[in-house]
Structures are given as structure tokens and as C-alpha cells.
Amino acid sequence: MKNVTIKEVAAHAGMSITTVSRALNNNYPVSAEAREKIERAVAELGYRPNLVARSLKSNNTGIIGLVVADISNRFFMKAARKLEDVVSAQGYQIIYASSDGNVEKEHQILSMFEERCVDALVIASSDSSSSHLNNIAGNGTPVIAIDRKVPGLQADIVVEDNRDSSYQLVEALIQKGHTEIAVNNVLMNISSGKERLEGVRMAMQAYGLPLREEWVSRGGFTSDDARQWVKQIFAGNGLKPTAVFCANNVMTEGTLLALEELNLRIPEDVSVVSFGELPMHQLIQPQIESVVQDPFRIGQLAGELVLMRLKGEKEDFCHYELPLKLKHGNSIRSLS
């Protein structure tokens, strides 16, 4: 016989998952009318609470939900590792999930986390709307946003200074004589992608240089997206960029693959800079000029915020925007 889920009970009763959970576990007030509907749905569907639901008698499952675009990305792996170190020291465990940058999939994951009644949520959201996350936070689950800002989100935020760091990378190119610069973007529906492109534009404008829109990608998610785009802009016999700005380590990986396939050398034929280092970057020659991200610091702060929220120690939301450092390499050819 199929196990009935709390999500199915909520749908049958016409209630939210959170309201059903509260009614079943008597850990928050629920109106008599809502309770009656929920009890009727439970009886009609034959719902039997699982172990996680029973643990809610103490209003604590000991589980933290983590949602990122791609947990296999080195940046997110490191952030997750440090987050786990911080919260596990206090007896909490983490459930990991990847959204693949897909908003619909992200919503499905969040519904699953709600069903399992996670104690807190840490998320690098791909959604440009804050309504879904604000609903979760409004129902009493602490939400900590990492890596990306979500407009209107009422939650703690831990991000990096994307604009200034991108400005520094492009300025390094300009100071060595580069004026024809291409931009290999990440997805533009997320704040980090938008802010990194804004930093590029600010640097070009500061030096009175135009940014050719045909050399600005619409944004990609995978290494192959980056690879295909670079091959496209270097095709034909017209004017070519002398340098490529890569908006994250995945875009850098795709760019390097494309340049290898095109038999273009770095930096002799094309200069490359990267927002974020590649895995095993010490073995890559030439060393790529890059912004050094600090995912461990992001994971540390996110973990500390989770514990602080669960203890109810602070009312005001925290907003951290971490400065980053530029690591010099030898991937920029001097044209001046």
C-alpha cells in the first residue's frame, strides 16, 4: 500500500504543509476549523506520520536543508563542507540538493524540504522572485541566502562583492592595453551574474571604452555553454576580442576548452581572466589571473547564522558582502 505523504494531506485539506504539520504535532496554534479539515483528510487518506513527523513533538528535526545550483561545483562543495562542519558540531545534519539553475526544480526541492520540516534553509537561489522563500520564512523556518541576492527577500544574506571584484579583473586587462574584451557570463537571472556584468561595464566606462554587445554572452550554466559561445565569437574573419572575462570557474573551464580546440594560445593569442579559480589551478599553465573566492568563509557565516536563528539570539537580518582579492597570473598579454 502506498504511503500517504504530508504533502498529499495538505492538498486534500486545502491547507499548507506547514499548517498540517503544526496541527498534527500540536507545536503551534491552529484554528479549530483548520484542524477539523486536516483530521478529516488524515482519516480519509489513511495518513500515518513518519519518524520525521514524530520528531517534531520537540519542534526540532535536527535537519538543515541546503539548495545550490550545482553541488558538484567546487565553490558550492567547499561552502557546503564548512557549513556542515559548523552545524554538525551542534548536532545538526544537512540534506543537499541541486536545482540545476531551474526555478521549477528549486520550488519542488523546497516543497520537499517543507514536507520534511527542516529546521532551517540555506539556499543559493535561482529564483528572481522572493515570494516562495518569504512564505517559508514567514512560516517560521529561518532562511539564509548565500552567493546570490533575491530582491525583496526578508532573510539573512551572505554574498561576495561581485561588482568591485569584476571591475578589478577588467581593469587589469585595460591597464595592459586591452580594449576589445568579451564577456562569458553566467545566468543573468541571478544577482551574481548581473552584478559581475555591471562591474565589467563600470570598468569599461571608467576608462572611456565601449563594450561590444555582440561579445557579451546571454549567460550560461554549463561548461559546454561557455565552450560553444567562445567558439562562436571567434569564428569567421572579422574583428576578434583580444581578451575574455569569464564570470565564474565553470565559464572559465569552457573557455579554455574552446581556445584549445581553436588552437589559440593563452596569452599569446587571447588573454583570459576568471572570477573564481579552477580546480587544480596550480597545475594549469599559464596561471589564470583570477578573483579568489572564499567559499569556506561563506559556509562558516551561513552556519553561524543558522545556529543563531535557531537559538533566537538576534532579530535584525544580517547582510554580509565579502570583499575578494585578485590573484595575479600570467594569462594577460601586454599590448601597450
- In degrees and rounded to multiples of 5, residue 137 shows phi and psi of -65, -40
Distance in angstroms (rounded) separating the CA atoms of residues 88 and 90: 5
Mean model confidence pLDDT for the chain: 89
**Three cell numbers, residue 43:** 482519516
Average of per-residue pLDDT across 9-32? 80
- Per-residue pLDDT for 267 more than 80? yes
CA distance 137 to 290: 36
DSSP 8-state symbol, 71: T
What pLDDT does residue 54 have? 47
Grid cell in block for residue 285: 599553465
Topology of domain 1-59, per CATH? 434 Repressor (Amino-terminal Domain) (1.10.260)
Per the model's pLDDT, the better-predicted residue between 47 and 180 turns out to be 180
Domain boundaries, the chain: 1-59, 162-293
Bigger pLDDT: 16 or 173?
173
- Provide the residue type at 19 as one letter: T
How many residues are present in the chain?
Answer: 336
pLDDT of residue 331: 95
pLDDT-wise least confident of 67-76, 169-178, 186-195, 281-290: 281-290
- pLDDT digit string (tens) for 129-155? 899 999 999 888 999 999 999 999 999
Q: What is the torsional sign of CA 326, 330, 332, 333? A: positive
> Among the ranges 18-27, 47-56, 123-132, 266-275, which has the highest mean pLDDT value?
266-275
Nearest to residue 322, comparing CAs of 147, 192, 161?
Answer: 161
Q: Is residue 137 within 8 Å of residue 296, measured between CB atoms?
A: no
Q: Look at 33 and 83; give whichever has higher pLDDT.
A: 83
Q: How far is CA 238 from CA 180, 204, 232, 233, 234, in A?
A: 13, 22, 12, 10, 9
On the question of pLDDT at 106 being above 90, the answer is yes
pLDDT at 45: 83
Of 320, 279, 322, whose CA–CA distance to 163 is shortest? 322
pLDDT band at 49 (very low <50, low <70, confident <90, very high): low
Q: How confident is the model at residue 277 (pLDDT cuts 50, 70, 90)?
A: confident
Q: Do domains 1-59 and 162-293 have the same CATH topology?
A: no
At residue 1, the pLDDT reads: 44
138 by Cβ neighbours in 10 Å (0-12 / 13-18 / 19+) ranks as: exposed
State the pTM of this model: 0.78
Q: What is the pLDDT of residues 195-229, one digit of tens each?
A: 999 999 999 999 999 999 999 998 888 999 999 99
CATH 3.40.50.2300 fits 162-293, yes or no: yes
pLDDT for 52 equals 47
CA distance between the termini of the chain: 74
Sheet holding 120-123, edge to edge: 93-98, 63-68, 120-123, 143-146, 156-160, 319-322
Q: What is the pLDDT of residue 167?
A: 97
Residue 15, Cβ density class (10 Å: 0-12 exposed, 13-18 middle, ≥19 buried): buried
Are 192 and 179 in contact, with CB atoms under 8 Å apart? no
Helix axes 295-311, 74-88, angle to 10 degrees: 40
φ and ψ at 251, to 5 degrees?
A: -65, -35
Largest CA distance in the chain: 78
